[in-house]
Amino acid sequence: MTPVELSRTVLHAVRRAVDEGELAVAVVPERVVVAPPGPGGCGDYATNVALQLARPAGQPAPAVAEVLRTRLLHADGISDVVVTGPGFLNISLAGGSDARLVGDILRAGPRYGHSDALAGQTIELHAAPEVRALVLMDSVARVLRSQGARPQLHCTRPPEDAWVRVLGVPEDIRVRPGTDPLRPVPASADPTPLGRDTARWALLHPAPHDRPRIGDEHLVQRESNPLFRVRYAHARSRAVVRNAADLGFGAEPGTVNASALHQALADHPRVLAATAAHRAPDRLARHLVAVADALAPLLPSVLPLGDEKPSAAHRARLALAEAAGTVLAGGLTLLGIDAPEHL
67 and 109 together in one domain: no
59 and 103 together in one domain: no
Mean pLDDT, range 124-130, rounded to an integer? 95
302 and 275 together in one domain: yes
pTM value?
0.77
Q: Is residue 16 part of a domain?
A: yes
Are 12 and 275 a contacting pair, CB within 8 Å? no
31 and 109 together in one domain: no
226 and 89 together in one domain: no
pLDDT in tens, 278-313: 999 999 999 999 999 999 999 999 999 988 899 999
Closest alpha carbon to 135 in 183, 64, 85, 82: 183
Rounded Cα distance between 321 and 82, Å, is 32
Confidence of residue 100 (pLDDT cuts 50, 70, 90): confident
At residue 97, the pLDDT reads 76
Q: Is residue 259 part of a domain?
A: yes
pLDDT in tens, 196-207: 999 999 999 999
At residue 307, the pLDDT reads 87
Q: Is residue 262 part of a domain?
A: yes
At residue 135, the pLDDT reads 98
- Which of 31, 59, 94 corresponds to the end of one domain? 94
pLDDT in tens, 236-294: 999 999 999 999 999 999 888 888 999 899 999 999 999 999 999 999 999 999 999 99
72 lies in which domain range?
3-94
At residue 62, the pLDDT reads 94
For residue 230, what is the domain's CATH number? Answer: 1.10.730.10
Q: Is residue 203 part of a domain?
A: no
Q: What is the mean pLDDT of the chain?
A: 93
Confidence of residue 95 (pLDDT cuts 50, 70, 90): low
- Which of 45, 61, 94 corresponds to the end of one domain? 94
Rounded Cα distance between 136 and 184, Å, is 8
110 and 88 together in one domain: no
Neighbours of 24 (CB within 10 A): 11
For 93-141, the DSSP string reads EPTTHHHHHHHHHHHHGGGTT--STTTT-EEEEEE-SSHHHHHHHHHHH
Q: Is residue 53 part of a domain?
A: yes
Q: Is residue 235 part of a domain?
A: yes
For residue 76, what is the domain's CATH number? Answer: 3.30.1360.70
49 and 105 together in one domain: no
90 and 62 together in one domain: yes
Rounded Cα distance between 110 and 329, Å, is 7
